[in-house]
Amino acid sequence: MAEQVTYAYAVLREAPGLASALTEVEGVARAPVRLVTAGTGAEELAAAVSPVPAPDFQESALRRHLEDLEWLEAVARAHHTVIEVLAAHTTVLPLRLATVYLDDERVRAMLRQDAATFSQALDRLSGHLEWGVKIYVEAPSDTAVPDAAGAPEAAEGLSPGRAYLRARRAQRHSMDERHEAARRAAERVEAIGRAVAAGHARHRVQQGELAASTGENVVNDAYLVARGTAEDFRQQILDAAEGLSGIRIEVTGPWAPYSFAAPEREENPAPERAP
C-alpha cells in the first residue's frame, strides 16, 4: 500500500449527528472521512480529514495534478461535498483545496497552535452562511452590424459606411447605459449588504471559461448573512434590479463561509518526505 498523508477539509466544533453523517460521505480519493480532535470541553476543536496517497500530494506531483482539469475537478467536488455535509450540522472554517499534513498528529498540532484564532472565527461565523451575488450586463439583442445595402439607414440616404458607424454608436450607447445601470445596481446591493450582512468579500469577476452564465459579469461578491435574515436578504438583492434594464442579478447559496474562513495554512502541500 502506498504511503499516506492526511488531507484536511475544515476546522469545526463537533455537533450531534455529525460523526454519523460523515460515515455516509466519500472524501478525496474516495477515502472515508473522520474527525481529528484537540483540546478539551468547550475549547475542543476538530478537523475533518481523510487519508490520501502521499505520492499524489507531494509538491512536484501536486503541481502536475493542478494542470489536470479532470483530477482537479474530482478533488474539488469531493472537498466541497464534505464541507457541505459538515456545514449542515455545525459552523465550519473551510480549508484551502489540497491542504495536507504528514499525519493526524500534525493536524492536532495545527489545531492547538491556532486554537484561539480558530475559536474566534467560529464564534464570529456561528449562525451565518455565505451567499454569492453576481451582476451581469446583458448584450443588446440588436448587436448585428448592418450590411451596406439592406440597412434601414441606407433608405435614409446614408452611405453604407455612415450607416455602419451610426449602428456602432447606437450599440456603444446602449452598452454604456447598461453599464451605468449595473453601477447603480451594485450601489444598491452594497447598501443592502451594509444593512443586513455581517461580512462582505469582493471576488474577481468571472471571464472566459469561468463565466458559466450569459452576459458580462461585472460584480462577483460574497456576503456573510445570518440564517434568520437570509430570505429577506435574498429578496432585497433580487429587488435591487428593479427599474434597471439590461442587467441581471444572480444570487447563489447558501454556502459554507468559504470567503470568510481562517487564513490559509502554510503546511501545504506535503513535503517530499517526512523529516
Q: How far apart are CA 237 and CA 231, in angstroms?
A: 10
User: What is residue 55's three-state secondary structure?
Assistant: helix
Q: Where are the alpha helices (DSSP H) in the chain?
A: 18-22, 54-57, 59-65, 69-87, 104-113, 115-125, 152-155, 160-196, 230-239
**pLDDT the model gives residue 149:** 45
What is the gyration radius of the CA atoms in the chain, in angstroms? 25
**pLDDT the model gives residue 168:** 63
Residue pair 133/236 in contact (Cβ under 8 Å)? The answer is no
Q: How far apart are CA 181 and CA 136, in angstroms?
A: 10
pTM (2 d.p.): 0.77
Domain edges within the chain: 4-126, 128-258
Q: How far apart are CA 235 and CA 254, in angstroms?
A: 13
Residue pair 223/199 in contact (Cβ under 8 Å)? The answer is yes
Residue pair 186/158 in contact (Cβ under 8 Å)? The answer is no
**pLDDT the model gives residue 89:** 92
Q: How far apart are CA 49 and CA 11, in angstroms?
A: 10
**pLDDT the model gives residue 16:** 87
How far does Cα 158 stand from its chain's mean position?
51
Domain 128-258 in this protein, CATH class: alpha beta
Residue pair 131/233 in contact (Cβ under 8 Å)? The answer is yes
**pLDDT the model gives residue 2:** 63
Per-residue pLDDT of the chain (275 residues; tens, 9 = 90+): 569 999 999 999 988 889 889 998 999 999 999 999 998 766 799 999 999 999 998 888 888 887 888 999 999 999 999 999 999 999 999 999 999 999 999 999 999 999 999 999 999 999 999 999 999 999 876 544 444 444 454 446 666 666 666 666 656 656 788 999 999 999 999 999 999 999 999 999 987 655 556 789 999 999 999 999 999 999 999 999 999 999 999 999 999 999 998 544 444 444 443 33
